[in-house]
Amino acid sequence: MVDGWWTYIAIVVAGFLATDIWRWLGVLAGNRLDDDSEALYWVRAVATALVMAVTAKLIVFPTGTLADSPLWLRLGAAGIGFAVFLCAGRRVVVGVAVPIVLLVAGLWWLGR
């Protein structure tokens, strides 16, 4: 093989060992947990907190194209999107689509 391929193979193997093995072990261990156990409540709470932290970071300290939008537009899109998400029966697709549409419309309206 050409020397360049070994680098890609090493990345794939190292990536698999670092992530997928732990995922499979999590699946095996998770199948044995009760759905109403305190451990799963804690895991759900931590996962939700991490997602919300990343979302807040993207809103307050954006990068890329999102950085060109004003803070009021990002906060408004997130707030309206959350309200529509709740009104729509907590449908994730609605909660994701509405803020995106609002951001795109806001950026178009502002001419950016």
Please count the other Cβ atoms lying within 10 Å of the Cβ belonging to residue 98: 19
Residue 93 pLDDT: 96
- Cα distance between residue 55 and residue 52, in whole Å: 5
What confidence tens digit (pLDDT) does each residue in 52-72 have? 999 999 999 999 989 989 999
Residues in the chain: 112
> What SS3 class is residue 4?
helix
CA distances from 101 to 36, 37, 43, 83 (A): 36, 38, 31, 14
- The pTM of this model reads 0.68
Residue type, 48: T
What confidence tens digit (pLDDT) does each residue in 63-103 have? 998 998 999 999 999 999 999 999 999 999 999 999 999 99
Average pLDDT of span 2-16: 82
Give how far the C-alpha of residue 105 lies from the chain's centroid of Cα atoms, to the nearest Å.
Answer: 22
Residue 50 pLDDT: 96
pLDDT at 1 over 70: no
Q: How confident is the model at residue 3 (pLDDT cuts 50, 70, 90)?
A: low
What confidence tens digit (pLDDT) does each residue in 24-54 have? 888 888 788 888 989 889 989 999 999 999 9
Residue 2 pLDDT: 59
As separate numbers, helices (DSSP H) first and strands (DSSP E) second, the chain gives: 5, 0
